[in-house]
Chains A and B, each alone.
Chain A
Amino acid sequence: MNYPAWQLDAFGGGFFIALIAIVHVYVSHFAVGGGLFLVLTEMKGLREGSSEIIAYTRRHTRFFLLLTMVLGATTGVGIWFTIALLNPAATSFLIHLFVFAWAIEWVFFLAEIVSLLFYYYTFDRLEPRKHLILGWIYFGCAWLSLFFINGIIDFMLTPGAWLADNNFWSGFFNPTFWPALFFRTFMALMLAGLFGFLTSVNIKEAGLRHTMVRYCGMWLLPPLILLLGSALWYKIALPLPQQEMIFSRAPEMKPFLTLFIWLSPLIFAGGLTMAILRPQAVRRPLAWLLLLLGFLYLGSFEFIREGGRRPYIIHDYMYSTSIKKADMGQIQKTGVLASARWVKNKTITAENRMDAGKELFTLLCMPCHSAGGPLNDILPLARRFSPAGMRSFLATMGTANPYMPPFAGNEEEQSVLADYLTTRLVPGIVNKVVKINKESIKPAPFDKETGEYLILASSDKGMILSSEPELSGIDFSFAPPTLQAQVILRGEAPSVLTDDIQVSYRIDTDQGPLLGNMIAAEGTFAATLAKIPPIAKDFRPYLLAEIEAVKGGKVIAATRLKIGLSNEIGCRNCHGGPWRQQGRTGLSRQTAADILAIHDKRSSTKLSQDFHSGKIVVCADCHADSSRGAAGQPGPLNLSAAIHGFHAAYLYKENNSCTFCHANSAQGATGNMEDLHSTIGLECANCHGSLTDHAMSLLIEEQQAQKPGSAKLVALLADKGEMAQEKIQGRMPWSMEPDCLTCHVGFQPPDSSTAFNTWSADKKGLFVHRHGEEGALLCTSCHGSQHSLYPADNAYSKEVGNLQPLQYQNNPYPLGADRGCAVCHTVEMEEELHHPGSLGTFRNRVE
C-alpha cells in the first residue's frame, strides 16, 4: 500500500524468489558445510600422508570457490534485489529492524571471501598448519553468516516475543532460532557430502575414488539422521498457528511435506548405494541424481517454512499483501484504493470500474499469485467463479481460507475486484437470465356434479435436486420422491378409503414411462420411487405423474401430480465448468471434477481417482443421509451438515446465498421458487434461517454428537449469524424441520415471519406426514407439497403447480378454500373440522 507494485503477470506469485532463492539457499548451505569438508579433508590427507587426497581437496576447493563465491554471492544479492522488488514494505521493515544483523553478516561475508581466496591460492605455498587455519577461519565465518541470517529468516516465521516488546534480540533469538540453526547446520553438512560425491566420483585412481566416495557418504548419512531429529525439534518449537498452517490448514503444503518425507529415505538409500557400489556407470549418474534430490529436499523445506508464515510475510505482523495486521481494520473501513499511495483510481465510478479492479488485483492478488505463470496461477482459479461466487470467496479470505489474508477492501471494492477477476481477467462465468417458454397443462377431468370419488396426491418433497450421478459422476442428490395419495369418497361425511382400492402411478419420462402401484397404510397410499426419474431433455423443472384409483377393475378417480425436479445445482458458481444441459442447467463432469479435487485436497481423500476411473462418487457412502437411509461412516459429518457447514463460511455474506446452490433463482433455469410463501415475499431464511444460522443448527447437532470437524466449522461461523450461537437449537436434517405452526399459531394468520429454530421433533412431525385435526387428511392433500404450496406460481406453467385445486375446484387455492367444502362434502359445513380457520376465505389471492 505504501509502495508501487511491479506488474508481473505470468512471473508473479514469487516466481523470481523461488528461482533465485532456492538456488542461493542450496549453494549457500553448501558454502557452510563444504567449508568444514575442505578443512577436514585436507586434515585427513595430512594425517594419512596422502598427497592425492590433498590434491583432491585442492580440486574440490576450486569447484567450491567457483560455485559458492560466484553463484552464491550473486544469487545472494539477487534475493535481496528480488524481495525488495516484490515486497518493498517487508524488505524495508526487515532492513530497518535487523540492519546491524545484516551488517554483521556482511563482515563475515568479507572474511569468508578473503579466507577462501587465500585458502585456494595458497595450497602448497603455506605450511599446512597456517593453511588449515585459513580453512577454519573460512568455515567459522561461513557458519556465523548462517547464524545471523538464520535469526532473520526465522523471525519472519516466528517473531515470538518481539511482537510484544519490539526488542531486536527478542526477534533475533525467536522461538525457532535454535532448532532452525541446528537443522540448517546439519543440512549444510549433508550437502557437503552430496557435492563431495560429485567431485569424488571423478577421481581417476579407483582405490582413492572408492575411499573418497565412502568418505563423502559419511558426510551425508549421519547428518541426515541428525537433520531429521532437528526437523522434529523445529516442528515442536513452532507455535500452534504456524503448525496448523503447515500441517492441516493449507492444503498446498501437502505435496511439499510429502516430498520432504519421501526424499529423506531416498537420499539415505542413495548415499548408502554410493558407498557400497563401485561401478562408475552407477555412481556418476547417482551422484547427479542425489544432487538433484538434495535440491528438491531443501527446496521443499523452504516452501514449507515459507508456507508456515501464511497469510503473513512476517507472522502476525505484516500480511503478504504488505498490509500490517494493525492497519487492516482501518483499511477495510477506508478502502484499499483510498489508502494506497500508488493507485490511479482513488474512487470507483462506473467508468473506471475495471481499471480500479485491475489496481486492486495488482495490490491484493499479485503478491502471491501469477496470472498465467508457473506459480500459484490465478487464472484457473478465477475461471471457476461467477462474479457472485468470487465475491463470496473474497469475503472468506482469512477465515474459511486461513492461508489467505483477509480481504483488505470495503464491500464495493470486493465487488469490483470480483467482477474484474471473473469478467476481465478471464472470460469467466456470467450467468445469464434464462428465457422460459411457458406451457399450458390441463388438470385431469373431474365432474363436480357426478364425481363420486376424488384422489388427492402429493410428493413428499416439493423440489427434488438431482446431481444426475450417471451423467455428472457424483451423487449428492436428494432422496427419490415418495408419492402419496388419498382416495376420498364424497358425501355428507366423506371418508378416506383404502380397502379394495388399488392406486397406481405412471410417470412419463424421455426414457419411457415409470409405472408402479402405491401401497396403502393408515389411509394413505404411498410409493417411493427406486431412483430419481430422469430430467426432461427439453428442460422443465418437473415431471407429471398420472395417478389412478381403481376399484373392482374400474377407475374411480384420477389426477395429475407435479413432481418438482431440477438439476440446476449451482456448484459451477464457484467450482467452474459449464452447465451440462442446454447451456442453462445440469451439473457437468468438469464441475464435479473440481468439487472432488478440492475435497481430496482438503480432506486427504482420493475421490478424484475413483471419479476419473469411471466410478460414481456417492457422497452418502461416507456422509450419512437419513433421507436416503444411508448411515455413512462414523467420522464424517452428515451430508447436510457437511455441505451447508462448509459452504456457509464462503457464502455467509450473500443475501441470496441459497440460490448459489439450490434451484430457486428467478434468473435461473428452474425459475422462481413457486411456493405461496415466496409469492408473498418470504425467503428461504424466514423458515430455515440465514445460511449461517441454518448451517449452525446442523453443525451444533453434530458437535453434540462429538463429530470430528464440526467444531472447526462452528468456529468459522461464530458471530457471523443473525442469531447468537448459544441460542441455536441443533437439528437433524430431514427429520427436524421448521414447523408451519410456529408462525401460524393455532392455524391463524401469522404474527411472525420467522419459523427458524423451532423444529419438528421427528419425522412423524413433518408437514408431509401430518394430518388435519380430523385425523384423516394429510396436510399435503389439501395444501400441496412443501415448497410448492397452493397457490403455486411455477415459472413454466400457470397450471402445473396447482393441478389438483384446478381439477377439483377450478381455482388454485388449497382444497376447500373459500368455503369450498363441496369438493368433498355434499352439504354445507359449519364446523371447522380440519383445523381452525379452515372455513375462512383464503387470504393470499392471486390474479
Chain B
Amino acid sequence: MIPTHLIPTPDPLQVPWGWFQILLSTTFLLHLLVMNIMLGWAIIAFCNHAFRDTIADDNQLISKNLPFTIAFTINFGVAPLLFLQVLYGHFMYTSSVLMAVFWLSIVAILLLAYYATYLYNLQFSKMSGLHTLLSGIIALFLLAIAFLFTNNMSLMVSPESWVHYFDHPDGMLLNFEDSTLMPRYLHSVLASVAVGGLALGLYYDWQRRRGDTTAADRIPSAMNWFSYATIANFGFGTWYFGSLPASIRTVTGVTGAFLLCFLLAGITAAILSLIYGLQHRVRHAAGAVLGAIICMVTVRELVRRQTLAPWFSTSDLEVVPQYSPMILFLLLFAGGLYLVWWMIKLVLPAKKEVQS
C-alpha cells in the first residue's frame, strides 16, 4: 500500500491558505500559553503536595484558577483546531480515525479532569487529606490528554504509518514508531512546567507591585520551577531536534533558512529567559519566553510543512473565493476582543475595591 494513495482529497478553501495560516498560528499561540499554564500548574500543584510542605499558598492560588485555565485552554484550543482542520483536515481526520478510541477518550478524560479541578477548588479547605491524590489525578489526566494530542499531531504527518490501519482498524493505533514522539512530548511537558512556574512568578510580581508584601517571597520558588524546567528542556529540546529526520534538520533553501533563523532566535530567547529567570527578573523572563514561544511555534509549523512536503503543500489547496464570511468574522473577532477587554475594565475596579 503506497501512502500517497491513502491521503484523502482535501476540500477547497474560501480564502487563500495564508489567511488560515495566520489565524492558525496566532490562535495556537494563545492556546499554547494558557494550556502550558494549565498543565504546568497541575504538575506543580501535585509536586508541591507530594514532595514539599510549605507551598500551600501556591496551591491555593492554583486550585482557585485551574478551572479557568481549563476553560480558556478549551476555548483557545477550538480556534486553532478549526483552522488546522481547514488546512490539514485530510491528514488530521485520518490520523484521528486511526487512533479514534484514544482520541475520543480525550473528551471523557477532559470532563473528569475539569470537574476534578472544581472539586479541588471548591473543596480545597475541606479535603486536605486528598490533595495529593486529587492533584495527581488532575495532572495525570492532563498529561494523558497532552500525550494523545502529541500522538495525533505526530500521526497526521506520518502517512507511512497509516498502513497499520489495515491490521488495526479499531482505532487503537498510537504512533510509537515516530522517534520524535517521546522527546516532543516531554519537551512540551517541561515547557509547560516552566511556563506554569513563570505564570506563578508573574502573578506574585503583580501582587507585589500592588502592595502585597508577602508576594515577593514567593517569586523565587516560582522562578525556580521556570528555570530548572527550562534548563532540563535544553536537553529535551536537543533530543527532540536530534530525533527529527535528517531531511528536516538539514533542509536547505528558503524554508531551511527560515527554520534555522527561528530556531536560533528561539534558543537565544530561551537562554535569555533562563538568565532572567535565574535572576528572578520575572517580567523580563516573561518577555523573553514569549519571544521563544513565538519562534518555536513558527519552527513547529515549518517542521510540519517540511515533513509533509513529499505529499502536500497548503499552496496546493484549491480556492473557491468568498470573502464576505471572513470579513464578518474579522469584524466580530475584533469586536469580541474589545468586548472582553471592556468587561475586564468593568470588573477590575470592583476587585480593587473589595481588596482595599
Contact = CB atoms under 8 A, between A and B. Distances in A.
Interface of A: 2-8, 16, 20, 66, 69-71, 73-75, 77-78, 80-82, 84-85, 88-89, 91-93, 95-104, 106-111, 113-115, 117-118, 122, 125-126, 130, 133-134, 137, 166-169, 341-342, 344, 362
B9 A2 contact: yes
A392 to B, nearest CB: 29
Contacts of B78: 77, 106, 109
Contacts of A96: 11-14, 86, 89
B98 A4 contact: yes
Contact of B14 (A100, A104, A110): A100
Nearest to B113: A74
B329 to A, nearest CB: 4
A74 B343 contact: no
Given A126-B346, A168-B14, A110 B75 contact: yes
Contacts of A106: 75, 78-79, 82
B106 to A, nearest CB: 7
Contacts of B340: 110-111, 114
A168 B322 contact: yes
Given A103-B333, A166-B320, A342 B75 contact: no
B74 interface: yes
8 contacts: A70-B111, A85-B103, A96-B13, A96-B89, A101-B325, A104-B328, A110-B76, A133-B346
Interface string B61-94: 0000001100110111111011101100110011
B350 A107 contact: no
A4 B5 CA distance: 12
Given A74-B74, A74-B114, A113-B75, A137 B8 contact: no
Interface stretch (B132-140, B164-172, B187-195, B227-235): B164-172
B350 A126 contact: yes
Contacts of B104: 16, 78, 81-82, 85
Given A7-B171, A341-B5, A71 B111 contact: yes
A11 to B, nearest CB: 10
A656 B199 CA distance: 77
A342 B97 CA distance: 12
B82 A103 contact: yes
A574 to B, nearest CB: 30
A137 B97 contact: no
A80 B165 CA distance: 22
By secondary structure, the A interface counts as: helix
A168 B324 contact: yes
| Residue from B89, B90, B103 having most chain A Cβ neighbours under 10 A | B89
B107 A81 contact: yes
Contact of B68 (A8, A117, A134, A341): A117
Range class of the B interface residue count: 35 or more
Contacts of A80: 81
A169 B14 CA distance: 13
Interface in B314-344: 320, 322, 324-326, 328-329, 332-333, 335-336, 339-340, 343-344
B6 interface: yes
B347 interface: yes
Contacts of A93: 11
Nearest to B165: A4
B353 interface: yes
Interface of B: 1, 5-14, 20, 23, 67-68, 71-72, 74-79, 81-83, 85-86, 89-90, 93-94, 96-98, 100, 103-104, 106-107, 110-111, 114-115, 118, 162, 165-166, 169-171, 320, 322, 324-326, 328-329, 332-333, 335-336, 339-340, 343-344, 346-347, 350-351, 353-354
A126 B347 contact: yes
Contact of A125 (B85, B343, B350): B350
Nearest to B339: A111
Contact of A5 (B114, B169, B353): B169
A428 to B, nearest CB: 23
A344 B333 CA distance: 46
A505 to B, nearest CB: 66
A100 B74 contact: no
A99 B83 CA distance: 8
Given A4-B98, A99-B14, 14 more contacts: A3-B94, A4-B162, A6-B169, A6-B171, A70-B67, A73-B74, A73-B75, A81-B107, A89-B8, A100-B325, A110-B340, A134-B346, A168-B324, A341-B8
Nearest to B30: A110
B58 to A, nearest CB: 21
Contacts of B13: 96
Nearest to A112: B75
A409 B8 CA distance: 20
Contacts of B96: 81, 84-85, 88
A118 B14 contact: no
A122 B325 contact: no
A163 to B, nearest CB: 15
A91 B20 CA distance: 18
A117 B71 contact: yes
A77 B104 CA distance: 10
B115 A70 contact: yes
Nearest to B12: A96
B161 to A, nearest CB: 12
A133 B342 CA distance: 11
Contacts of A70: 67, 111, 114-115, 118
Contacts of B169: 4-7, 362
B260 to A, nearest CB: 32
B332 A6 contact: no
Contacts of A2: 8-9, 90
A99 B86 contact: yes
Nearest to B1: A344
Contacts of A89: 8
A97 B72 CA distance: 26
| Residue from A69, A81, A107, A167 having most chain B Cβ neighbours under 10 A | A107
A667 B76 CA distance: 67
Given A95-B86, A103-B82, A104-B329, A114 B110 contact: no
A118 B343 contact: yes
5 shortest A-B CB distances, which residue pairs?
A: A88-B93, A100-B325, A78-B107, A107-B336, A96-B11
A589 B115 CA distance: 53
Contact of B329 (A92, A103, A109, A169): A103
A48 to B, nearest CB: 24
B333 A107 contact: yes
Contacts of A113: 71-72, 75
A747 B89 CA distance: 74
A85 B324 CA distance: 30
Contacts of A84: 85, 93, 96
A84 B98 CA distance: 12
Given A85-B97, A92-B85, A103-B79, A110 B11 contact: no
A761 B82 CA distance: 71
A3 B8 contact: yes
A233 B59 CA distance: 55
Given A113-B72, A118-B347, A137 B339 contact: yes
Contacts of B325: 98-101, 168-169
B189 to A, nearest CB: 21
A591 B16 CA distance: 60
Nearest to B335: A107
Nearest to B5: A341
Given A74-B111, A85-B103, A134-B346, A341 B332 contact: no
B89 A341 contact: no
B93 A3 contact: yes
A108 B336 contact: yes
Contacts of B67: 70
A320 B13 CA distance: 23
A110 B107 CA distance: 19
A91 B346 contact: no
A239 B344 CA distance: 47
Nearest to B85: A95
Contacts of A81: 96, 103-104, 106-107
